[in-house]
């Protein structure tokens, strides 16, 4: 545990620097009957698949959402009753949103915050709990204190390298229980972890492990009825890498160790646009 805290502290320093048709016509009555049976079976199979897709899209309590836009665009003031929880990626969004891009939304962020270290006691050595109006809170206490009911969470980036994908998901489940225990009427929106630029890796944190985490996060949301938002799809290229122009700290010849995962203002606007058109 001591080693993990030392590693996490080092990572925090780095973070703050810087998703056939049927055959020919019948030749005789026997063939005609066989063709009819085949067509009927195909129709039933197609209907089963369509129903399966509809069930998958609806999820528990119709809360699980797929990646298609809702067909409407929310205004910024819809987010007045929202709070965004996250690490340094969301911290950048908080700076971008200071001009009202997300209405009067509040932010509860810290540079190396993750699902697992959010479970630490408020006074535990090495904690990285976020501050709100000058006071430090655990995530669950902060959400309860601030009192907003639309809770947008993007965490996991800082868990994957330390605990692996399964450990990150386990931390997500535990923190969610704490949040709902203190704010049972909250609506939880889990945002996918966004990727890094092509070729970047940070130990076991890779675009592949991020994609696997997002896949498992989506499955948990579907099972539990939480809302899942695939923000990564709005800022990724066709290969699942963060689009270079959206990255505020891409590796360069002068700075080859840059993290390659934080956003520019353009990237933040794409994030906001996605939320406004995909949140139900």
Task: Give residue 184's pLDDT.
Answer: 97
Residues 6+ apart with CB under 8 A from 19: 67, 192, 194, 195, 214, 230, 231, 232, 233, 234, 235, 236, 240
| Centroid of chain to Cα 43 | 37
Sign of CA dihedral 246, 252, 254, 255: positive
Tokens matching residue 29: 């009555």
Tokens matching residue 16: 């703050």
Task: Give residue 3's pLDDT.
Answer: 39
190 has pLDDT over 80: yes
Q: What is the CA radius of gyration of the chain?
A: 22
Percentage with pLDDT > 70 across the chain: 76
Q: State how far the Cα of 43 lies from the Cα of 20, in Å rounded to an integer.
A: 12
Q: State how far the Cα of 260 lies from the Cα of 243, in Å rounded to an integer.
A: 10
DSSP calls for 30-95: HHHHHHHHHHHHHHHHHHHHHHHHHHHHH-GGGT---SS--SS---GGGGGGEEEEESHHHHHHHH
pLDDT one-digit tens code per residue, 168-179: 999 999 999 999
Query: Are 76 and 277 within 8 A, CB to CB?
Result: no
Residues 6+ apart with CB under 8 A from 181: 140
Task: Give residue 12's pLDDT.
Answer: 45
- Mean confidence (pLDDT) of the chain: 84
* Burial group, residue 67, by CB count within 10 angstroms (0-12, 13-18, 19+): middle
pLDDT one-digit tens code per residue, 249-271: 999 999 999 999 999 999 999 99
Q: State how far the Cα of 83 lies from the Cα of 104, in Å rounded to an integer.
A: 9
Task: Give residue 74's pLDDT.
Answer: 97
Query: Are 202 and 259 within 8 A, CB to CB?
Result: yes
Task: Give residue 67's pLDDT.
Answer: 76
**Residue 34: pLDDT band with limits 50, 70, 90:** very low
Sign of CA dihedral 1, 120, 12, 79: positive
116 has pLDDT over 80: yes
Average pLDDT over residues 114-135: 97
| Edge-first strand listing for the sheet containing 150-154 | 106-109, 82-86, 150-154, 187-191, 227-229
Q: State how far the Cα of 224 lies from the Cα of 107, in Å rounded to an integer.
A: 24
Query: Are 253 and 97 within 8 A, CB to CB?
Result: no
For the chain, how far is it from start to end, CA to CA, in angstroms? 40
């Amino acid at each position: 545990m001591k080693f993990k805290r030392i590693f996490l502290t080092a990572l925090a320093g780095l973070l703050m620097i810087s998703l056939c048709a049927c055959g020919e016509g019948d030749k005789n009555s026997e063939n005609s009957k066989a063709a009819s049976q085949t067509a009927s079976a195909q129709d039933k199979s197609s209907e089963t698949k369509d129903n399966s897709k509809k069930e998958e899209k609806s999820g528990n309590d119709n809360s699980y959402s797929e990646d298609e836009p809702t067909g409407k665009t929310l205004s910024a003031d819809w987010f007045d009753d929202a709070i965004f929880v996250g690490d340094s990626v969301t911290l950048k969004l908080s700076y971008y949103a200071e001009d009202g891009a997300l209405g009067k939304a509040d932010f509860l962020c810290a540079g190396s915050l993750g699902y697992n270290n959010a479970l630490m006691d408020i006074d535990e050595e090495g904690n990285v709990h976020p501050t709100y109006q000058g006071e430090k809170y655990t995530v669950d206490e902060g959400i309860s204190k601030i009192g907003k009911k639309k809770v947008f969470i993007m965490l996991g980036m800082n868990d994957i390298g330390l605990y692996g994908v399964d450990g990150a998901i386990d931390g997500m489940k535990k923190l969610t229980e704490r949040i709902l225990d203190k704010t049972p009427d909250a609506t939880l929106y889990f945002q996918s972890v966004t990727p890094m630029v092509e070729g970047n890796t940070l130990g076991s944190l890779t675009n592949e492990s991020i994609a696997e985490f997002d896949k498992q996060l989506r499955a948990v949301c579907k099972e539990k009825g939480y809302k899942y938002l695939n923000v990564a799809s709005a800022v990724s290229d066709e290969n699942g890498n963060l689009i270079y122009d959206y990255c505020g700290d891409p590796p360069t010849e002068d700075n080859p160790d840059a993290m390659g995962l934080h956003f520019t203002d353009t990237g933040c606007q794409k994030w906001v646009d996605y939320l406004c058109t995909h949140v139900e």
